[in-house]
Amino acid sequence: MECSFFSSKYMPMSEIAHLERTNSSQFSSFRPLVEVKSTPHFSSCRGTSPKASHSSTPNSSYVPKQAVSSVDEEKLGAGNLLYQINGTNSSLFSRNLRILDSFDDEYDGVIVDSERLPANPNVFASMLSFSISHWKSKRRPDSSKFRILLILIHYLQGKKGIWLKLPVEKSDLVPVAVKEGFEYHHAERGYVMLTYWLPEGPSMLPANASHQVGVGGFVINDKNEVLVVQEKYCAPQFVGLWKIPTGFIVESEEIFTGAVREVKEETGVDTEFVEVVAFRHVHNVAFEKSDLFFICMLKPVSTHIMVDDHEIQAAKWMPLVEFVEQPLIQQDCMFKKVIDICIERLGKRYCGLSVHQVASTFDGKTSSLYYNVIDSQHNNCIGN
């Protein structure tokens, strides 16, 4: 959302002058020290974070200059709109102290605009420090006595959390933010996200993602053969094991489409999703993260195998009996239980979770909801 302060579109200068005249009895000690001219904008901001700052200025410095965006750090020529309050001069738009461009989030937090960050680390350091002080501010002027001041600065209120996304090309700003008190939240290939909790007490900002999500595809044809693979890279104890195709869900991917994709990538076989028959939850798997693994029943729509040479050593259709009798399957309680569940599903003595697209008015989005439906008409499964 874009907003402007002192835009001629929103607040004509004549109205500001009128407000001063109508409130002169309440503002006997407050008078502007600038001659208001027809400048279209004194300052602008994104979201609800004003690019306003305060600094001391000599009494003779009464010349306003046009404000500039914070990205022009080489042209630190933000205007100096001056006031005299009880004989003290202050600048609302300072040359050296400006607030980082930002957006408000729905939880009374601040999201710094990563596309409008200053490139100079020294400029960034001063702006970041001043911005934190501004967002911590909880001063709320009395509107009956400071109405004009409210109009000028829009609002002054304390914020809760700051989200600072620093792209790779501005990684030299990371030490500056850390020194200021920011903490690492998460990182992706192109950026690092840092956070700062403003109120006293423990941070209430949501933590980084705690889980990785994996899928496995149990594919069985009309000959009672299971589609299995041997991985090229695996732990020594798993060398020679024939297993179902598995992999990780990628960003913004559904569980059921991820299972179909993994089977296609590893074996070249096309499949259709049937059900989620079970899922496993385990902790401290990779870099202290938890893991959710969904076993999906899939129906083959092709049979020709084309192995992915990068990940897979071999792939084949294996009789179900041979697959189950593998020593590593028989000796592992979880593997054996998963196979038992799949066999029960084939015998229609067990019902898995089918996927349904359901819309929600809470977020206005359509989600994939997995639940059990016993279809007696088609005798899909009997259930427990």
Q: Are residues 170 and 299 in the same domain?
A: no
The span from the CA of 213 to the CA of 290, in Å, is 9
The reported pLDDT for the residue numbered 8 is 37
Q: Residue 331 sits in a domain of what CATH number?
A: 3.90.79.10
Total Cβ atoms within 10 A of residue 301: 10
**DSSP H or E stretch at residue 285:** strand 271-286
> Which of 73-77, 223-227, 228-232, 272-276 comes out lowest in average pLDDT?
73-77
Tokens describing residue 339: 């196979």
Q: Are residues 174 and 253 in the same domain?
A: no
Q: Are residues 117 and 147 in the same domain?
A: yes
The span from the CA of 149 to the CA of 154, in Å, is 8
pLDDT of 371 > 50? The answer is yes
Q: Which residues share a beta bridge with 167? A: 191
The span from the CA of 95 to the CA of 76, in Å, is 6
C-alpha to C-alpha distances, 214 to 2, 225, 293, nearest whole angstrom: 41, 23, 4
Tally of CA atoms within 13 A in the half-sphere of 122 that contains its CB: 3
pLDDT of 202 > 70? The answer is yes
Q: Are residues 306 and 257 in the same domain?
A: yes
The reported pLDDT for the residue numbered 97 is 73
> Which of 93-107, 212-226, 345-359 comes out lowest in average pLDDT?
93-107
Q: Residue 139 sits in a domain of what CATH number?
A: 3.40.630.30
> Which of 39-43, 329-333, 364-368 comes out lowest in average pLDDT?
39-43
Q: Are residues 300 and 356 in the same domain?
A: yes
Between residues 59 and 157, the one the model is more confident about: 157
Q: Are residues 130 and 153 in the same domain?
A: yes
pLDDT of 320 > 70? The answer is yes
pLDDT band at 189 (very low <50, low <70, confident <90, very high): very high
> Which of 16-25, 132-141, 291-300 comes out lowest in average pLDDT?
16-25
pLDDT band at 75 (very low <50, low <70, confident <90, very high): very low
Q: What is the mean pLDDT of the chain?
A: 76
Q: Are residues 153 and 252 in the same domain?
A: no
Total Cβ atoms within 10 A of residue 74: 10
Number of domains making up the chain: 2
Q: Are residues 162 and 126 in the same domain?
A: yes
C-alpha to C-alpha distances, 326 to 215, 232, 277, 279, 369, nearest whole angstrom: 21, 19, 21, 22, 35
Is residue 224 domain-resident?
yes
Work out the percent of the chain whose per-residue pLDDT is above 90. Answer: 52
The reported pLDDT for the residue numbered 262 is 97
Are 50 and 154 spatial neighbours (Cβ–Cβ below 8 Å)?
yes
Nearest CA to 48 out of 205, 158, 199, 154 is that of: 154
Tally of CA atoms within 13 A in the half-sphere of 369 that contains its CB: 11
pLDDT of 383 > 70? The answer is no
Tokens describing residue 101: 């461009």
340: three-class secondary structure by DSSP: helix
272: three-class secondary structure by DSSP: strand
Greatest alpha-carbon pair distance for the chain in Å reads: 95
The reported pLDDT for the residue numbered 158 is 64
Q: Are residues 184 and 217 in the same domain?
A: no
239-295 pLDDT, tens per residue?
889 999 999 999 999 999 999 999 999 999 999 999 999 999 999 988 889 999 999
The reported pLDDT for the residue numbered 26 is 42
Residues 78-88 have a mean pLDDT of 37
Are 323 and 339 spatial neighbours (Cβ–Cβ below 8 Å)?
yes
Among 167, 197, 227, residue at a domain's last position? 197
Domain holding 313, by residue range, is: 211-371
The one-letter amino acid code at 166 reads: L
104-159 pLDDT, tens per residue?
988 889 999 999 999 999 999 999 999 999 998 743 444 454 454 544 444 445 68
The reported pLDDT for the residue numbered 258 is 97
Length of the chain (residues): 384
The reported pLDDT for the residue numbered 363 is 86
Q: Are residues 293 and 221 in the same domain?
A: yes
Q: Are residues 300 and 226 in the same domain?
A: yes
C-alpha to C-alpha distances, 233 to 39, 230, 267, 273, nearest whole angstrom: 67, 9, 16, 27
Nearest CA to 45 out of 155, 192, 173, 133 is that of: 155
